[in-house]
Amino acid sequence: MSTEASREENVYMAKLAEQVERYEEMVEFVEKVAKTVDVEELSVEERNLLSVAYKNVIGARRASWRIISSIEQKEESKGNEDHVAIIKDYRGNIKTELSKICDGMFLKLILFHC
């Protein structure tokens, strides 16, 4: 019974985090719900929360990637090689974040279904 109450609380907190646009925290709450998968499968609502959480966390970084790529192109066209080098390094940080999020999500989804 305590697992169910905890699950319900985490679903509520995920919804609350969504409303206040704190998607990284939303991911944390939904992952806690997903850890109870061995007890009961995710409901449609819970799967939707998982989707929304990751979509927003990834979406923000994808937007950053598009913007920095655009800035990099502008600096290249101006011939500002020093700036281009800095931008490429910074873009690498965004790529690393995206990879960590995607790898973590993929591994967790695989583990939850095994």
Mean pLDDT (whole number) for 15-23? 97
At 14 the pLDDT is 97
- In whole angstroms, give the CA distance from residue 114 to residue 110: 6
pLDDT tens across 34-63, in order?
887 766 788 999 989 989 999 999 999 999
Domain encompassing residue 55 = 2-113
- In whole angstroms, give the CA distance from residue 12 to residue 19: 11
Answer whether residue 110 shows pLDDT above 80: no
pLDDT tens across 2-18, in order?
555 589 999 999 999 99
pLDDT tens across 61-109, in order?
999 999 999 999 999 999 999 999 999 999 999 999 998 888 877 666 6
- In whole angstroms, give the CA distance from residue 99 to residue 95: 6
CATH number of the CATH domain containing 81: 1.20.190.20
Long-range contact set of residues 97-101: C-beta below 8 Å, sequence gap at least 24: 97/61, 98/58, 98/61, 98/62, 98/65, 101/54, 101/57, 101/58, 101/61
Mean pLDDT (whole number) for 18-37? 90
Nearby residues of 100 by Cβ (< 8 Å), 6 or more positions away: none
Q: pTM of the prediction?
A: 0.74
Question: Per 3-state DSSP, what percentage of the chain is helix, strand, and coil (rounded to 5)?
Answer: 85, 0, 15
Q: How many domains does the chain have?
A: 1
